[in-house]
Copies of this chain bind each other. A is one copy, B any other.
Amino acid sequence: MVSQLPSEFKLIAHHFAPLSLGFPGAYELRDDAAVISPSPGFELVVKTDAIVGGIDFSLDEPADFVARKALRVNLSDLAAKGAIPRAYMVDLILPDTIGEAWIANFAAGLAQDQAEYEVYLIGGDMSATPGPVTVAVTAFGETPPGRIIRRGGAKAGDFIFVSGTIGDAALGLAVQKGKLTDLEPDQASFLMDRYRLPRPRVRLGPRLIGMATAGLDVSDGLVADLHHLCDVSNLAATIEARRVPLSSAARVAFAAHPELFSTILTGGDDYEIVFTASPKQKAAIAGLSRSSGVPITPIGVMAQCSEDAQSAVSVIDDRNRPLVFASEGWTHF
C-alpha cells in the first residue's frame, strides 16, 4: 500500500523531533542515522528490549504508560550494569486502529521520562502491523572503561543484596487479573502501579560500581535472575526467605495468602537490582542506602556450586528448609 507521503514524516517531525532537541547527534530526527560517542573517559553500554501489547502490557494501557514502560525496562538494565543513561531509539510498530491522539500521548510519556532520567530520543522508526502495538527500545548509557557490572564476577562468600522491595509487580498483575480482592484499595492500587510502571534504579546503579562484584536487574523474577548471575559466576546462591524485602501491601497480601510467596519470588517485573558484594562492603552499602534513600537489603550469600544441589539457587525458610517452586521465573517461550 502506498499512502499519502507526508504523514509518517509529519508525525515524526511533530511528535518526536522535539524529544531529540539537546542531543546534537540526533540531527532533530531529520536524518537517517544518529551519531553518538561516549563521554571522555567512558565507554558505551547498549541494551535493547521490546514490549508487546497483550503480552507485556495490557491492550487498554494508555499510550504514555506504554511508552514509559518500554523505555524504563531498558533503563533498568543499564542501571543494573552501573551505566548512566544518555539516549535511546524507538521502533514503534502500530496497528491501523491507532490514531494521532495515541501517538501524541505516547510522545508525551516519553517527554515525561526524558525529564526524569535525562535521556534523549536520537532515532527510530514507525512501522505498520496487523498485530498488536509493539515497541522496541534501544538504550545507550555509559560507564568508565571496563567497569560495567557483569553477571559474572561474584565470589563465594559474597553477600547478595537487593534494592527496594520484591514481588509488588507480580502481585499487582494478580490484582489486575481480578485476584486479591481482599486488599484495601490503596494497597491494590499501589501494587498495580508497580506492575504498570517500573521505577528503574537509574541513580543507584552507577553508584554500585566499585562495590558490586556482579549484578543485574530483577525482571524475570528474583530466583530466575539470581540464577542467571550464578550461571555466569559459576557459583550457587542461598536466599533466606524471611529477609526478602516486602512492601507493606505485599506483606498484607502474603499474610492472607501464604501461597503467594512463590509469585513474589518468581513473578518478575520488579525492576530492582540484585547484586553481590564482599561482606566488607556491608557498611558502605548501608551508607549508600541511606544517602540514596533506596532500601538495600542483604538477603543471602554466594557459595561454591555443590554437585548434588537441585538448583544453583536455594531459598530457605526460618528453619533452613529449602522451598521449592514450580517455575523459577518468567520466560517468553
- Cα A128 to Cα B332 with chains together (Å): 6
CB of A315 within 8 A of chain B? no
Residues of B within 8 Å of A128, CB to CB, are 52, 55, 332-333
Choose one: B126, B134, B148; the contact of A131 (CB below 8 Å). B134
Most buried by B among A9, A38, A50, A126: A50
**Stretch in A177-185, A247-255, A283-291, A322-330 touching the partner:** A322-330
Q: Is A33 touching B46 in the complex (CB atoms < 8 A)?
A: yes
Q: Which of A73-81, A111-119, A156-164 forms part of the interface with chain B?
A: A73-81
A305 at the interface (CB under 8 A from B): no
Stretch binding the partner chain, chosen from A24-32, A60-68, A193-201? A24-32
Which chain A residues numbered 16 to 48 have a C-beta less than 8 Å away from chain B?
A: 25, 27, 30-38, 43-48
Asked if A47 and B5 make an inter-chain contact with CB atoms under 8 angstroms apart, the answer reads no
Q: In the complex where A31-B150, A93-B134, A151-B31 touch, is A49 in contact with B329 (Cβ < 8 A)?
A: no
CB-CB contacts below 8 Å: A111-143 with B = 122-132, 134, 136, 138, 140-141, 143
Task: Please report the total number of A residues contacting B with Cβ < 8 Å.
Answer: 79
Residues of chain B with a CB closer than 8 A to A141's CB: 33
Closest B residue by C-beta to A100: B333
**Beta-carbon contact of B129 and A232 below 8 Å:** no
Minimum CB distance partner of A78 in chain B: B33
A168 within 8 A of B: no
Determine the residue in chain B with the shortest Cβ distance to A146. Answer: B35
Q: Are B34 and A89 in contact (CB under 8 A)?
A: no
B5/A224 in contact, CB under 8 A = yes
Q: Is the CB of A125 within 8 A of B32?
A: no
Q: Is the CB of B331 within 8 A of A48?
A: no
Q: Contact partner of A36 among B9, B46, B122, B232, CB < 8 A?
A: B46
A7 interface residue per 8 A CB criterion? yes
List 16 other contacts, CB 8 Å, given A34-B45, A50-B136: A2-B330, A2-B331, A3-B331, A5-B327, A8-B331, A11-B333, A30-B152, A33-B45, A33-B83, A34-B47, A35-B45, A37-B38, A46-B89, A46-B123, A52-B127, A89-B138
A residues touching B (Cβ–Cβ < 8 Å)?
2-9, 11, 25, 27, 30-38, 43-52, 54-56, 77-78, 80-81, 83, 89-91, 93, 122-132, 134, 136, 138, 140-141, 143, 145, 148, 150-152, 216-217, 224, 227-228, 231-232, 266, 327-333
List of 10 A-B pairs having minimum Cβ-Cβ separation, nearest first: A131-B131, A136-B136, A50-B91, A33-B47, A91-B136, A138-B138, A8-B331, A37-B43, A128-B332, A48-B89
